[in-house]
Amino acid sequence: MSSSESTSQTTSDAARRERRRSNFLLLLLAVGFLVFGVAAGALYYALRPEILRIAVGPPGSDDYKVIQAMADAFGSESRTVRLRPIKADGAMEALALLGSGKADLAVGRGDLDMPAEAQTVAVVRKNFVVLWAPSGLAGKSSKRKPSPKIKEVADLSGRRVGVIGRTPVNPALLRVILSAAGVQPDKVAVAQFGTDQIDELARDLTLDAFMAVGPLDSKITSDAVAATARARGEPKFLAIEASEAIAIKHPRYESEEIPPSIFNADPAWPGDKVETLSVSHLIVARKSLPEATVAAFFRQLFAVRQAIARQVPGAAHITKPDLEKEAELQVHRGAAAVIDGNERTFLDRYGDFFWFGLLLLSGIGSAAAWLRRYLNRDERDDNTSHRNRILAMVSSARTAESNQELVALQREADIIIAETLECYDDGAIEQEELAAFGLVLDLLSNAIAERRTALQRTTLETVRGAVGSHGVTPRA
């Protein structure tokens, strides 16, 4: 191969190598954009607000007002959890939506039939059972206060009780109370009245007693007690003596006391504390709902509770579930973690993902190194051919007939050296390959130096011979 052909070949190899380097940079840029896009998408997915569907009803009820105010507060103050209220005809339908997967949360009374995977998140309020009987109105000529015909729950046998609320759970609760008092439930007639039928309830003379289930500060209960007192005489509040036994047999209920004067101060209604039952109104969640999501909802709920209570007073009754009490409905692990202070940290929740990410990055790095080495395989082949070319140049240098040939070989070697160093900088060849290249390069340098010395010596001898043949002694 002539020096011009060799130089042309070297230039062509350099151009090809430059194209490969450009293609690799473009590929690296594309991979970088891909990784950035994936990371940005994952970050957006992780930081986007979680939207929870909460079923509540009926529209216009206290529960619906509380949840609507809660959704508004979450929307204005929260960046992690948002609420989307789903209207339901009542608590039973709200729980049915939860059970069918159409809602993530629901509001319902604790003694309703709960879906299999429902778990407690928060207590919206406690509903107290209030049982009372009228004493009768005193006659105009009578100086004695009338005495009530019904003084305890056992006296309700054969009587008719007016129950406030159309829900079927109130009559079911009354039957539990009657059974615990030794009264056969089928011997007590029940008439249900809507919350807007208080006046009709008070005027119905066929009723012997009344029952309401709601918070102690409920306006409905207070109005019902006052209305029956005006129409039928002072109320006699009936104690549920077996409340503790009922709470043991039915964990959904709790034994409570009605404090004196809660419904009226003068005269005091009731005059003394009255033993009764309570049942909680709950926010329940699906068990499959992530712990972190429920924990975030729980924290935000109690962060905005006071603000909600200023708009809807009923929100002030929202409390945390009691983890120490045995209940039929288990507390969701997300709420329990916040209450106990055992909530998992960010690293606890996502530590495995970080390790997986590191392993993935390590794998990507190894794959990139292999890809780079694969793409640079031609450059490594060129390095081998360059090394072989220099070995051939060693032989050419030892048989060179002129100094011009040696100069041409040196120029070709300079080009090869420059390309080899570029390959090394690009990572196409390793340190060991560069060291092997250095050995043959030293061999070429020595061969050129020896041949140049030999050519100079030959030239000097030729000059001396020519001078001697003319009888002239050359100067030193």
How does pLDDT run across 192-225, given as a tens digit for each residue? 999 999 999 999 999 999 999 999 999 999 999 9
Among the ranges 161-170, 351-360, 434-443, which has the highest mean pLDDT value?
161-170
Cβ pair 115, 102 in contact under 8 A: no
- Give the residue extent of every domain in the chain: 3-35+376-468, 121-284
Helix, strand, coil % over all residues of the chain, rounded to 5:
55, 15, 30
HSE-CB of 244 using CA atoms within 13 angstroms: 1
Instruction: List phi, psi (to 5°) of 357.
Output: -60, -40
> 3-class SS at 212?
strand
- Helix pair angle (333-340, 291-311), 10° resolution: 70
Q: How confident is the model at residue 476 (pLDDT cuts 50, 70, 90)?
A: very low
Q: What pLDDT does 175 receive?
A: 96
| Helix or strand holding residue 198 (H, E) | helix 198-203
- In angstroms, the CA 462 to CA 124 distance is 117
Q: Is the pLDDT assigned to residue 244 strictly greater than 60? A: yes
- Lookup: tokens for 284: 């329940």
368 alpha-carbon distance from chain centroid:
33
Q: Is the pLDDT assigned to residue 143 strictly greater than 70? A: no
Cβ pair 191, 166 in contact under 8 A: no
Q: What pLDDT does 472 receive?
A: 52
Mean pLDDT of 152-157: 95
Can you give the pTM of this predicted structure? Answer: 0.67
Side chain identity at residue 286, one-letter code: R
Q: What pLDDT does 239 receive?
A: 97
Specify the long-range contacts of residues 426-434, CB closer than 8 Å, at least 24 apart: 426/21, 426/376, 426/379, 427/372, 427/373, 427/376, 428/376, 428/379, 428/380, 428/383, 429/379, 429/380, 429/383, 433/380, 433/383
Among the ranges 31-35, 72-76, 94-98, 247-251, which has the highest mean pLDDT value?
94-98
- In angstroms, the CA 335 to CA 342 distance is 10
Q: Give per-residue burial for 268-292: e unless 16+ CB within 10 Å, then b.
A: ebbeeebebbbbbbbbbbbeebebb
Q: How confident is the model at residue 371 (pLDDT cuts 50, 70, 90)?
A: low
- In angstroms, the CA 350 to CA 45 distance is 14
Express each pLDDT in 9-59 by its tens digit.
555 655 666 666 666 667 667 767 776 777 666 655 555 688 999 999 899
Which stretch of 121-135, 136-150, 380-394, 400-414 has the lowest confidence by average pLDDT? 136-150
Q: Is the pLDDT assigned to residue 471 strictly greater than 60? A: no
Q: List Cβ neighbours of 145 (8 Å cut-off, separation of 6 or more).
A: 135, 138, 234
| Helix or strand holding residue 178 (H, E) | helix 169-180
Q: Provide the percentage of residues in the chain whose pLDDT is more than 70.
A: 79
β-pair type (253-258, 81-87): unpaired
Measured at the CA of 452, the angle between CA 448 and CA 458, to 5 degrees, comes to 145
Cβ pair 92, 106 in contact under 8 A: no
Side chain identity at residue 218, one-letter code: S
Express each pLDDT in 87-107 by its tens digit.
999 999 999 999 999 999 999
| Helix or strand holding residue 47 (H, E) | helix 3-47
Q: What CATH number has the domain spanning 121-284?
A: 3.40.190.10
Q: Is the pLDDT assigned to residue 329 strictly greater than 90? A: no
Q: What pLDDT does 468 receive?
A: 67
Burial of 76 (0-12, 13-18, 19+ CB in 10 A): exposed
- In angstroms, the CA 217 to CA 257 distance is 14
